[in-house]
Amino acid sequence: MAKRFSDSLKWDDPFFSDLSNDYKLLWIYILDKCDHAGIFKVNKRLAEFCLNIKIDWKEVEGVFKGRIQTLNHEKWFIPKFIYYQYGVLTENNRVHNSIIQILKKEGVYKLLERTVQGRKDKDKDKDKEELINTNTKEPIIGRSPKGRPLIVDKIMKGDRS
């Protein structure tokens, strides 16, 4: 059984508090049932059975707009999941490498783009780089706390080593 962090402040989040009770329950279910890379395998019958509710599946993507990205009719990606559960992904962590491989396999890197922001570091004269989600424009994976390049930096540059 996977153990996850759960954000106790979700109850204060306008997105979550504005959901109907059925969609609140579905959102928690999605976060609990997705894999460790934030990929949820959509199983409508199982979700309705486990939650004991009838879900309007045509409405779900609109209700969770900006919170899920449809990869195909069977899989959804939850972009904020990785950052919330793991923070910054680093290349020397086996769990993080596993996540990166899953995201590559699922084609989620197509949803990412590199931006170079013009902010200068006070101690060093270099640009800060980060990866952002093209749909939400929010950072997904950044730099390590010590400023070292992450494996994602190498992958985006085409370096597979």
- Tell me whether residue 161 is in a domain: no
Residue 16's pLDDT is what?
Answer: 94
- pLDDT for res 104: 84
Whole-angstrom Cα distance, residue 73 to residue 152? 27
Please indicate, yes or no, if residue 96 is contained in any of the structural domains.
Answer: no
Is 128 contained in some domain?
yes
Residues 54 and 113 in one domain: no
Pair 98, 41: CB distance under 8 Å: no
Show the low-confidence residues of the chain (pLDDT under 70): 1, 91, 109-161
If asked whether residues 27 and 76 sit together in one domain, one would say yes
Query: What is the per-residue pLDDT for 125?
Result: 39
The contacts of residue 120 (CB under 8 Å, 6+ apart) are: 126, 127, 128
Q: State residue 66's pLDDT score.
A: 87
Q: For position 21, which CATH number holds?
A: 1.10.10
Show the domain range for 51.
8-81
In a 13 Å sphere around the CA of 70, the CA atoms on its Cβ side amount to 10
Domain assignment present for 123: yes
Angle at 118 between CA 117 and CA 123, to 5 degrees: 110
